[in-house]
Amino acid sequence: MILERVNHDLRSNNGGTIYLPPNPSYNNLDIPALHEAATSQKYDLTTKFRFNGKTFVYCQGIVKGSSGEYANAKLIASKGAVSARVMAITYSTAKIGSHDAGIEEVTIEQDGITENEYKYGHMIIGHQGEAGVQNRGIIANTATDAVTGLATFYLDIPLSHPTVHDTTAIEVWKCPYGAVEWGGVDYQYTSVLGIPMVNVAQGLLDGQFVWLQTWGPCWVCPGAAALGASVEERQAVFDTQGQLAAPATTKDDLQIAGFLIEKTKDEYTSTAAYDGEFIMLQLDP
């Protein structure tokens, strides 16, 4: 497996910049179709597109659940895209082999792994009270060897501490941008990845590739409580359905989306306010 451990920054025809992740499979210079949900993959997952002061991330959508439960809500600008990934390799002290510090690849004992199934995912090496806990990104992986039962994972940063088989714990997550869905009912246990750029009817986003805005000025349609309806509202948060709202005193722990960048009261007094729906989105610079 040939690895490229550097990022590639490509200039598209409209002057935007495409930021490819390490070890890219697609070197596409076409101007991204931000408004489309495509059935074929054109960029690596996690590819970023920076244009006109905004940043977008390439991802793949899924339908989760049945009969509409936890399926994709109809996409409007105020719906947040959440990661439906669960821990792919759960906490274990028997999965990782023994490795010296300073290397950039580790072997994992796990049946059924396919090549690059974990690409752009994350590995937690060490757990809870263990010394030398390490968080590493995965830039590629081999398939499980039929004889040894091992797969090789290539890391974005070398190990700072050695690992010991049957002692060092690991947890492994697949790429969070590889399975995203739109915020719907009862999503309080998820985090928003970005604002979708497309409109797709409920339950129909199943495998398509789409772009999420993660940074920059963003015009949104708020949820139940309009942003800026009260004087001096500035902070915008995602509610449990992935919609934008002003934080309530009882919901101070909601995920921050960004900050309003327009006035919420008239020019001369503090007695009037209007709904502010233009925010500086601050999910991923």
Domain ranges of the chain: 87-174
The pLDDT of residue 74 is above 50: no
Within the chain, what is the greatest distance between any pair of CA atoms? 76
Burial class (CB in 10 A: 0-12, 13-18, 19+), 268: exposed
87-174 carries CATH number 1.20.120: no
pLDDT of res. 80: 77
* Phi, psi for 177 (deg, rounded to 5): -90, 5
Summarize the confidence of residues 257-283 as an average pLDDT: 72
DSSP designation for 177: G
Q: Is the distance from CB of 154 to CB of 140 less than 8 angstroms? A: yes
pLDDT of res. 105: 96
Sequence-ordered list of residues with C-beta below 8 angstroms from that of 56, at least 6 positions apart, any chain? 32, 34, 48, 49, 50, 194, 197, 211, 212, 213, 214
pLDDT of res. 145: 97
pLDDT of res. 6: 66
* Phi, psi for 131 (deg, rounded to 5): -75, 145
Per cent of the chain over pLDDT 70 is 76
pLDDT of res. 128: 67
- Residue 107's DSSP bridge partners are 152
pLDDT of res. 187: 64
Q: Is the distance from CB of 144 to CB of 95 less than 8 angstroms? A: no
Q: Higher pLDDT residue, 184 or 176?
A: 176
Q: Higher pLDDT residue, 251 or 165?
A: 165
The pLDDT of residue 71 is above 60: no
**How many angstroms separate the CA atoms of 257 and 78, rounded?**
11
The pLDDT of residue 223 is above 60: no
> To the nearest whole number, what is the mean pLDDT of the chain?
82
Q: Is the distance from CB of 194 to CB of 212 less than 8 angstroms? A: yes
pLDDT of res. 165: 93
End-to-end CA separation in angstroms for the chain: 31
Q: Higher pLDDT residue, 101 or 198?
A: 101
**How many angstroms separate the CA atoms of 1 and 122, rounded?**
19
The mean-pLDDT minimum among 173-177, 205-209, 247-251 falls in 247-251
Tokens describing residue 150: 């091992």
Summarize the confidence of residues 130-142 as an average pLDDT: 89
pLDDT of res. 269: 62
pLDDT of res. 241: 72
CA distances from 31 to 99, 197, 261 (A): 43, 15, 28
Nearest in space to 125 (alpha carbons), one of 93, 88, 85, 103: 93
The pLDDT of residue 237 is above 70: yes
Q: Higher pLDDT residue, 224 or 248?
A: 248
